[in-house]
Structure 1
Amino acid sequence: MIFVPFIGIDNHRRCVTFMAGLIANESTESYIWLLKTFLKAFGSQPSMIVTDQDAAMKNAINIVLSQSRHRLCMWYINKKLSDKVPSKVFNHPEFKKTFHKTVWDSKIHPEESEASWSSLIQNFDLQSNSWLSVMFDMRNFQLSSLMQTTSRSECDQCLLDHQSLTTNSIYKTFLPIERFTTDVYTRSNFFIVQK
């Protein structure tokens, strides 16, 4: 049995498990059944879905959740990177710096992004790397830096909320509301109010 969690971010910007399912196999049919069950329980399609690169899941999402934007999880892509590029390239500090600057900049224009990607491929002699070519071809599908992982245990937001329990806030004003929000809000909402 395969465990499939449905994880999202609530109104307090915390990761929560909305639903979980068990499927017999990772086929398109199994994912279709699971997604239809999700729709039956929640009544509407989510605005965005972040997954790994599972082809069967992608097919099922296209069929059942056609109104949702489907994004690929950057955490999974980063995890694969060390296996997909030569080690001398992966260990080169400029490669990682350039790669991350190219894929994590949400404000970069498409032309700049493509130029940066081309420069990365040329500078590190990666023209024959088929995995990077496939990733580039998927750029219209879009990668999601909004949510780095689909797993609750690695969710950055959850880590920030955990830190709010174990670290002290740094106050920028003498206003009472700033201290009040430390007790009432999650760390991420505290930063919004503080700003």
Structure 2
Amino acid sequence: MKKTILSLALTAVFGLTALANPIDGEKKAVKVDESTVTWKAYKVTGSHTGTIALKSGNLEFDGDKLTGGEFVVDMTSITNTDLEGEYKGKLEGHLNSDDFFATATNPTSSLVFTKVEASGKNSYKVTGDLTIKGITKPVAFDVSIYGSKATATLKVDRAAYNVKYGSGSFFDNLGDKTIYDEFDLVVDLQL
């Protein structure tokens, strides 16, 4: 009888402890120095490309299944890769200005996964909350994971984040000065 009461007491204590401290999935930190985020923006007369650095990030797994993720981007690191010299400097300065990403007052952006669904052996459909300039909007994209590498491509509508410069959504009669609202982010992560 005493053994049964002791067993029940131990079961209750360890059972409640397990409920109070559930085992979370494994979080794998992203190697930010080895990962890349490339952007491409489009205008009537062409396009520009560049990079932006991750400040931190992780992907969360349950076994080998992706279940979550969270990233912080260093907006002050935005660079252009298709121009040189004075024009490169002017574009980078403009992207950092209040006309675009206002990096002095908004030095980071973030992405937090809110839903992850397997769509294939190594593929997932992800929905997340993307925050740019303090504005949070949902985005959807695909993620592929192979070993210690993950890739994703996102289309982002800058107009949703109050990035107005040269946007036909905010200004009329821009002609060939129009910059399209959607830009692409191509993300290659090393875990």
TM-score of the superposed pair, with normalisation by structure 2: 0.27
Q: Specify which structure has the higher proportion of helix.
A: 1
Q: Answer with 1 or 2: which has the greater Rg.
A: 2
TM-score of the superposed pair, with normalisation by structure 1: 0.26
